[in-house]
């Protein structure tokens, strides 16, 4: 399954999310974002700041090498600076580094390392990291495929209002992955995800809507209201 792309803005937001399920993401940091907007002439200054141990500068420099923003794209250098920042506790760097390990870009592909990083991010309360970890269990990357654990983790993120996780749960119900196939439940989760800005869920709803009757849609909408009542954006608990 495909994953997501690079983050430059805030720690809990993924710029691109998995079209279907594996939300292997890369978050960001507002300070890092501010630094990343420096002009090309400031690269030398940014490098000096990064070399002096500033984790935001390290992250921002890594993003530049990752995206080829002001410098030639270089995944290996991106991984180097992400790791520096990650070692100082930068969540965005951990997430982006995990994605590089997942893809094998700039580093040797290592699903176990990606999982290790996603777990750290999740334990710190980053719901995009939790969804990424769920995707690893969904696809059986670095772990035995476990739909129950994937759904548990997706649910943690979904109950905090994270659209991509809500979309993923809808996909599980649509195709019967680890749960009884249920179009109404799928549609209900996609209603929530669409409300939280997930464009993939919106497309999924449109496709499924033509196959549902008026009564089924009404039941799905009622179910969505019930699910929405359980969402607590500030509540987080990774462990069982």
Q: What is the pLDDT of residue 141?
A: 92
**Are 36 and 71 in a shared domain?**
yes
**Are 67 and 5 in a shared domain?**
yes
| CATH number, position 54 | 1.25.40.10
How far apart are alpha carbons 108 and 184 in whole angstroms? 42
| In a domain? residue 81 | yes
Q: What is the pLDDT of residue 41?
A: 62
**Are 76 and 8 in a shared domain?**
yes
**Are 140 and 65 in a shared domain?**
yes
**Are 141 and 166 in a shared domain?**
no
pTM: 0.75
**Are 111 and 169 in a shared domain?**
no
> How many structural domains is the chain composed of?
2
**Are 59 and 129 in a shared domain?**
yes
**Are 34 and 118 in a shared domain?**
yes
| In a domain? residue 202 | yes
How far apart are alpha carbons 211 and 121 in whole angstroms? 39
| In a domain? residue 105 | yes
Which of 78, 144, 90, 146 is closest to 117 using CA atoms? Answer: 90
Q: What is the pLDDT of residue 234?
A: 54
**Are 116 and 8 in a shared domain?**
yes
| In a domain? residue 89 | yes
| Residue-number span of the structural domain to which 238 is assigned | 160-240
How far apart are alpha carbons 66 and 64 in whole angstroms? 5
| In a domain? residue 150 | no
**Are 192 and 223 in a shared domain?**
yes
Q: Which of 121, 145, 169 is the last residue of a domain?
A: 145
The DSSP line for 159-227 is TTT-HHHHHHHHHHHHHTSSS---HHHHHHHHHHHHHTT-HHHHHHHHHHHTTS-HHHHHHHHHHHHHH
Mind listing the pLDDT tens digit of every residue in the chain (240 residues)? 334 434 443 332 232 233 233 333 433 443 333 334 445 567 888 899 999 999 999 999 999 999 988 888 999 999 999 999 999 999 999 999 999 999 999 999 999 999 999 999 999 988 999 999 999 999 999 999 999 999 999 999 999 999 999 999 999 999 999 999 999 999 999 999 999 999 999 999 999 999 999 999 999 999 999 999 888 665 444 433
Could you say which DSSP state residue 184 is in?
H
**Are 3 and 119 in a shared domain?**
yes
| In a domain? residue 76 | yes
Neighbour-count burial for 185-201, b at 16+ CB within 10 Å, e otherwise: bbbbbbbbbbebebebb
| In a domain? residue 154 | no
Q: What is the pLDDT of residue 69?
A: 86
| In a domain? residue 152 | no
**Are 28 and 135 in a shared domain?**
yes
């Amino acid at each position: 399954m495909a994953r997501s792309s690079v983050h430059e803005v805030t720690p809990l937001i993924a710029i691109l999310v998995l079209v279907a399920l594996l939300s292997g993401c890369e978050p960001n940091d507002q300070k890092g974002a501010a630094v990343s907007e420096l002009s090309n002439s400031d690269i030398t200054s940014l490098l000096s700041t990064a070399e002096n141990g500033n984790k935001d500068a390290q992250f921002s420099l890594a993003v530049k090498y990752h995206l080829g923003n002001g410098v030639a794209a270089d995944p290996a250098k991106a991984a180097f600076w992400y790791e520096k920042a990650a070692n100082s506790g930068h969540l965005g760097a951990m997430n982006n580094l995990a994605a590089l390990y997942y893809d094998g870009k700039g580093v040797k592909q290592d699903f176990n390392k990606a999982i290790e990083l996603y777990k750290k991010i999740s334990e710190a309360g980053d719901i995009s990291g939790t969804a990424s970890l769920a995707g690893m269990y969904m696809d059986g990357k670095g772990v035995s495929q476990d739909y129950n654990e994937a759904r548990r983790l997706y649910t943690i993120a979904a109950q905090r209002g994270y659209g991509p996780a809500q979309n993923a749960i809808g996909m599980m119900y649509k195709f019967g992955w680890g749960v009884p196939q249920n179009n109404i439940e799928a549609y209900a989760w996609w209603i929530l995800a669409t409300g939280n800005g997930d464009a993939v869920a919106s497309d999924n709803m449109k496709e499924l809507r033509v196959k549902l009757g008026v009564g089924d849609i009404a039941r799905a909408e009622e179910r969505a209201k019930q699910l929405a009542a359980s969402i607590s954006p500030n509540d987080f608990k990774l462990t069982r």
